[in-house]
Structure 1
Amino acid sequence: MDILEILIETLGGLGLFILGMKTMTEGLQATAGQKIRRILEAISSNRIMGCLTGAGVTAMVQSSSATTVMLIGFVSAGIMSIEQAIGVVIGANVGTTITGQMIAFKLTKAALPAVALGVGLKYFSKKRTYRYIGDIILGFGILFYGMAVMKQGLTPIKSDPQFISFFTTFSTETLGGILLCVSMGTILTVMVQSSSATVGLTMALATSGLLTFPTAMALVLGENIGTTVTAQLATLGSKNPDAHRTANAHTIFNVVGVGIILLIFPFFITAVETVTLKLGAGPVDMVVNSEYINCPRYIANGHTIFNVINALVFLLLLPRLVQLTMLISPRPQKSRERYQLPKFDTSFIDSPIAALAQVKGEIINNAQFVLMSLKKTASCIKKRDDDILGEREVVEEYLDETQKVIIKYLTTIYQGDVNEPEAKEISEMMRITNNIERIGDSMENVSKIIERIYNNEIGFSDQAKSNLAKIADKAVAFLQLVVDQMQDKTEDFYDKALNMEDNIDQMREEMRSQHIQRLRAGECSVDAGVLFIALVSNFERMGDYCYNIATGVNRII
C-alpha cells in the first residue's frame, strides 16, 4: 500500500468518524433539545450545580463545543449570567470526556449492525422520534466504523522505518518535545473543529504503536486547547461582551489547566497509569495482534482525570476566573440606544437551541419596551404629556421594524435543519412577536385618541375617567404578568392569564352598559361617548393580544 492509499484510508476513516459524531450529536440534540434548553435556563448560581449540569448536558449532546456555543447564545440573550455560564463551561469539559471513554470500549463489531439499524429507523420510520433515534444509532455506528477504518489505514505504516522515525520526533522526554506535541494537538483540533475526532485519531495512532502513551496524552492536552477555538469563532462579530467573556473563560480554563499539568507532566502520566491499572485495565504496553489494545483506555482515563482535576481547581477559583475574563474581554457599551434594532449572530444558525435562545431574549426585550411605552401612554389619560404622545410614530415604526427583524431570523432558522419541537417553537415565537406588535398598534390608536380628546377639549364624566384608568391599569398589569412569565414561568400562569382576559372582557361590557346609561341621562356627549368606546375597545384588544402571547408562552417557555 503506497502513501497515498494510506493517507486516503486514514483521512477517510477520520471523515467517517466526524460524520458519525455529527450525526449522533444532531440526533441527541433533536431528541433532547427542548429538555436541554430548559435545564440550562433553570441553572442556579450554585457553581457546583452548574458544573454538574454542564457535564450532564455535554454528555447528552456529545460535544463540549456545541454546549459552549449554546451557552454563548444564552448569555447573548440575557437568559444566563456570565457566572452561571462559566460554571457550566467547566462542567462541559468533563462531560466531553464521555466520548473518549465510549471510544475506548472495543465496540467495532457493533458498528455495521448499528449502521443497519440506524438507517432502518432514520429512513423508514414514520414517527420523527424514531428517526431521531435512528440518527443517534447511525451516528454511533459510523463513528466506530470510522475508527476501524483509521486503524486499518495506519496498520501498514507501523513497521515502516520512515514513519516510525517521523512519529518518534514527537517525544515527551524534553519540555520542548512536550510543547511540540501539545501544539500539534491544538493545530489538529483547530483544523478538524472537533476534539473528539482528534482524540479518536490519537487513540488510533497509539493503538497502532505509532505514539507512546505519554506522547498521546500530550496531544490530547493540546486538543483540549484547540476545542476552545469553536467558541471563539461563535463570538466573531458579536457585540455582546458577555458572549466574549464566556468564550474567553473557556479558553483560559483549558490553557491554564494544560499549563498546570505540563508542570507536573511525568507525575500526571504516572498517576493516570496507576489509577487505570487499579481500575482493572491491563498494562499500557500490552500488545495483542500487533496492537496496543489497552492504550485507548489509558488515554480516555487521562483525558477524564485531567478535566476533572481542572474542573475542581477552577470551581474553587471561579470568582478569580470571572474577574480575569472581565479584565481581558471587551468592555460593555455604557448605554444601549433606545430604538436599536435586534442584532442576531448568524453563527448560531447551526445551533437552533442557541439561536432560539437569542430570539427569546430579544422577544423579552421587545415586550419590555412595549410595556414601558404602554405605561407612559396610559399615564396620559390622567395628564397630558406631549412628549409621550409625540413619539408614537417613532415607537410604532421601531416595533414594526423589530417585528420584521425577528420574523426574518426565525424564518432563517426554520429553513435550516430543525426538529418538530423546534419548528413548533418557531411558529409560537412568530405568533408572540406578531401579537406584541399588535399591542403597539392599539397603543398608537390610544395615543391618537387621547391627543384628539385634549386638542378638542372633549370632557368626560368622573365615572368615565375612572373606568378608563381601571381598564388601562388592567391592560398594563396583564402585559406585566406576561413579561414576567416570559422570564420565569410559574405553574399557575395560564390560569392567571385566562382570568385576566375574562376580567378585561367583563370590564368592557360593564363600561359599555354604563356608557349607554350616561347617554340616556345626558351626562356625556355623543363625541365623548364615541371616543370613550374606542379607548375601551383598544384596551380590550390589548388584553386579547396579551392572552395570545400568554398562550404561546405557556406552550414553549
Structure 2
Amino acid sequence: MIYEILLATLGGLGLFLFGMHLMSDALQKIAGSGLRRILEKLTTNRVVAVLAGTAITAIIQSSSATTVMTVGLVNAGLMSLQQALGIILGANIGTTVTAQIVAFKLTDIALPLVGIGTFMKILSKREKVRYWGDFLLGFGLLFYGMLVMQGGVMPLRDAPWVCDIFVHFSTIPVLGVLVGAVMTMIFQSSSATVGLVIALATTGVVDFPGAAALVLGDNIGTTITANLAAIGTNVSAKRVARAHFIFNFFGVCVMLLIFPYFVQFVDYLTPGDPMQMAEAGALPYAARHVANLHTLFNVTNCMLFLPIMGVLGWVASLITPGEEKPRVFRLETLVPTIFETPSFALDEARQELDYMGNEVFKMLSAAEKPLLENKETEKFLEEIDKTENIVDSLQKEINTYLTELSRNSITEKQSREVFSMLQIVSNLERIGDHCESIGKLCKRRNEFNLDFSEEGRKELSLIYHHTQMFLKTVVDAITDTPDDLMEQVQSFEPKLNAMRWEMRIKHMERLKTAKCHADAGLIFIDILTSFEKIGDHAYNIAESLSGLTLGGSRELRYAAV
C-alpha cells in the first residue's frame, strides 16, 4: 500500500512540476525579452515596483524566474537595492496566482487540454501557436497531476500514524513551518509544495491549520532560489537575496505569533467549511482556503514591509558587509538556473557583449597619442596588453556561456540571436588584435627612430578618427540597436576603403619624391591596413546586429583576417 501511495504521489507531483515548467517556459517564450525591459522601466517607485513584480510573476507563473532576473539586474548595475526589494515583494504575491488557479476544480478538462495542446504543438508550423500549445499542455498536465496526487494521498487519511504526524502541525505550527521549508528547498518550487499541500488538505490527510503551517514554511523555503542566484554576484545582488529571506522569515515569525487568529481570519473570509466532506470523500472548500491563506499572507507581508523598505535594505546591508569589487566576468558567475529563462540569459550575454565592445573601443581610443603625436607609446602598450587579455577572456567566457545556452530549450529566433552574438564576439576579438598590431607598429617606429611626413600624419589622423567614429557607432548599437543601423554604417566602410587606397597612392608618390622614409612607409601601409580590417569587422558586427533586430537570418560577410 505504501509503495502504491508513494508511486502515485511522486508521479502526480512529477506531472504537476512538468506542467508548471511547460507553462512557465511557454509564457516566457511568448513574452520574450520584454519582461526584463518592464522590470527595468517600471521600478520608478516602490509601489510601481511591487505591481511590476506581481504582474510579471503572475504572467510567467514563476517567482524563481522573476527573482533570478532581479538579482541579475542588480548585479549588472541596472537596478538599485530598493527597486529590487519592491520587485521581489511583488513576486511573492504573484506566485500565489498559481495556487488560486489550482484551487479551481478544473480536473475534468485536464485531459482535453492535454490533447488540444499536443495537437497545436505537433500540427502547427507557426512558432507562437506551438508555444500556446505548450501552455495548454502544461496547464492540463498541472491539473491532471493534482488529480493523481489527490488519488495517491487519499488512503493516508485512514492511516492513524499519518494522522498522528500531521496533527502536530496544528498544535505545534513551528514543526509544520520547518517541514514546509524543507519541502520547498527540495522541490525548488513553492508552487509544487503548495500544490502538494492542497492535495493533502482536499483529501483530509491534513487539517486546515496544519496546511497553513506548511504553506508558511513554503514561503521561507522559496527564498533559497534568490540566494542560489546571488552566488558569485556583487554585494548589492547578495543583499537583495538576503533581504528576500529576511522579509519572508520575519513575516512568518509574525504570523506564528498570531497563528490561531490568522487561520480563523482566513476561514472567516473564505466561504465554506474547510473540513466539510462531500459525498465523494473530498473536502471541496479546503483548496480555496489554502490558496487564500497563501495569498493573504504575502499581501499582508508586503503591506508590513513596504513602508519600511529602507530599514529592510539597511538590515540586508548590515548582514552582508563589503564594498563593490572591481568588475568580474559576470557570465562565469551566473548559476545554471539562469538558462531556465532564455530571454533574460540572452540579455545578460548582450550586456557582457556591450562591455567587451567598450573595452575594444578603449583600445582604439588609447592609440591616438602614440599614433598621431608619437607620445605615451609605452603607456599605450601596457594598456593594450592588459585590455587584450581582458578581451580574450571575455571571448572565451561569452562563447562558453552562449554554447551552454544553445543546448537549452530556446526559440528559433533566440537560436539566431545566439549565432549572431557568437559572430559579434569573434569580430570584436579580431578588432582587439588589430589594435594590438597598431601598438606594435608604433613601438617599431620608435625603436628605429622613424617618423612620418606632415602629409602622412594628417592622413593618419583622418583615417583614425573616421575608423574611431565607425567603431563607436557600432559599439553603441550593441545594447540598443537602431532599425537604421545599416544605413548609418553604409557610408563608413566604402569611405574607409577609399581613404586607404587614396592614401596608399599618395604615400607611393611621397616615396618617389623622397618625402617619406622607406622603412617608415612600410609601417604607414601596415597601419592603414589595420584600420581597413577594423572597419571590415565593424561592418560585420553591424550586419549581425541588424540580423538580431530584424529577427531574421542574415548572411554574414567574413572579413579577411
* Superposition TM-score tier, normalisation by shorter sequence: 0.7 to 0.9
Query: Are 1:268 and 2:266 an aligned pair?
Result: no
2:303 pairs with 1:312: yes
**Contact 2:33 2:347 survives alignment (8 Å):** no
**Structure 1 residue 270, shift from structure 2 partner:** 3.8
Kept after mapping to 2: 8 A contact 1:478/1:500: yes
Letter in 1 for 2:207: T
RCO higher in 1 or 2 (8 Å CA, sep ≥ 6)?
Answer: 1
Distance change >3 Å, CA 286–CA 505, structure 1 → 2 = farther
Which residue of the partner structure matches residue 91 of structure 1? Answer: 90
Partner residue in 1 for 2:190: 195
Alpha-carbon separation, structure 1, partners of 2:482 and 2:318: 37
Q: Which residue of 1 aligns with 2:60?
A: 61
Of the three residues 322, 344, 348, the one matched with 2:313 is: 322
Report what 2:175 is aligned to: 180
1:405 aligns with 2:397: yes
2:554 maps to which residue? none
CA separation of 1:469 and 1:28: change in aligned 2, threshold 3 A? same
Q: How far off is 1:15 after superposition?
A: 2.0
Kept in 2, the 8 Å contact 1:185–1:226? The answer is yes
1:230 aligns with 2:225: yes
2-structure distance, mates of 1:275, 1:509:
82
Q: For 1:492 and 1:466, locate their aligned partners in 2 and report how far apart those are by CA, in whole Å.
A: 31
The one of 326, 332, 353 equivalent to 1:343 is 332
Aligned counterpart, 1:141: 140
Aligned AA for 1:367? G
**Is structure 2 residue 474 aligned with structure 1 residue 475?**
no
SS in 1 for 2:169: coil
Aligned to 2:537: 545
Alpha-carbon distance in 1 for matches of 2:136, 2:295: 24
Q: How far apart, in 2, do the equivalents of 1:148 and 1:533 lie? A: 76
Distance 1:270 1:494 in 2: 65
Q: Distance in 2 between matches of 1:58 and 1:407?
A: 30
| Residue pairs, 1:517-528, within 5 angstroms | 523-525=515-517, 527-528=519-520
Q: 2:214 aligns with which of 211, 214, 219?
A: 219
> 1:244, 1:330 within 8 Å by CA — same for their partners in 2?
no
Partner of 2:555: none
Distance in 2, matches of 1:554 and 1:499, equals 16
2:410 matched to which residue of 1? Answer: 418
One-letter amino acid of the structure 1 residue matched with residue 198 of structure 2: M
In structure 1, what is the Cα distance between the partners aligned to 2:474 and 2:46?
Answer: 30
Residue in 1 aligned with 2:47? 48
8 Å contact from structure 1 (residues 78, 361) kept in 2: no
Equivalent position to 2:243, from 249, 266, 289: 249
CA deviation map 1:236-280 (0-9, x unaligned): 4x153333223212212211222233333344334433443xxxx
Query: Percent identity of the aligned residues?
Result: 41
The DSSP-based 3-state class of the residue aligned with 1:209 is coil
Query: What is the alpha-carbon distance in structure 1 between the residues aligned to residue 331 and residue 9 of structure 2?
Result: 45
Offset of residue 494 of structure 1: 5.5
Q: Which moved more, 1:182-191 or 1:518-527?
A: 518-527
The one-letter code matched in structure 1 to 2:332 is K
Instruction: Tell me: CA distance 1:31–1:183, structure 2 relative to 1, closer, same or farther (3 Å).
Output: same
Of 258, 283, 286 in structure 1, the residue corresponding to residue 252 of structure 2 is: 258
Distance 1:494 1:286, change over 3 A: farther
Superposition deviation, residue 18 in structure 1: 1.4
Q: CA deviation at 1:195?
A: 0.8
Q: Output the amino acid matched with 2:288.
A: R
Whole-angstrom distance in 2 between the partners of 1:541 and 1:305: 62
Change (3 A) 1:192 1:395: closer
Structure 2 length normalisation: TM-score?
0.87
Equivalent in the alignment of 1:371: 361
Q: Partner residue of 1:296?
A: 287
Amino acid at match of 2:301: N
Residue 119 of structure 1 and its aligned partner are, at CA, apart by 2.3
Deviations 1:269-304 (A, max 9, x none): 34433443xxxx444444322322122112212212
The unaligned stretches of length 5 or more in structure 1 are none
* Offset of residue 227 of structure 1: 0.8
- For residue 366 of structure 2, give the secondary structure of its aligned residue in structure 1: helix
CA distance in 2, matches of 1:296, 1:528: 84
- Contact 2:9 2:152 survives alignment (8 Å): yes
Measured after TM superposition, the shift of residue 499 of structure 1 is 5.0
CA distance in 1, matches of 2:332, 2:321: 18
Aligned-pair distance for 1:404? Answer: 2.4
**Is the 8 Å Cα contact of residues 207 and 296 (structure 1) preserved in structure 2?**
yes
Q: Cα deviation per residue 1:439-490 (whole Å; 9 max; x = unaligned)?
A: 1121122112222333333333334323322332333334334444434556
Any stretches of 5+ residues in structure 2 without a counterpart? 550-561
Q: TM-score, normalised by structure 1?
A: 0.88
Q: Give the superposition deviation at 1:393.
A: 4.7
Q: Which amino acid aligns with 1:29?
A: Q
When residues 97 and 556 of structure 1 are mapped into structure 2, their CA distance, relative to the original with a 3 A threshold, is farther
Shift of residue 102, structure 1, vs aligned partner: 0.7
Change (3 A) 1:191 1:387: same
Describe the shift of the 1:334–1:160 C-alpha distance in structure 2 as closer, same or farther (beyond 3 A).
closer
Comparing 359-368 with 87-96, greater Cα deviation is found at 359-368
1:72 to 1:141, Cα distance in 2 relative to 1, 3 A: same
Are the counterparts in 2 of residues 344 and 409 from structure 1 also a CA contact under 8 Å? Answer: no
2:233/2:330 contact within 8 Å kept: no
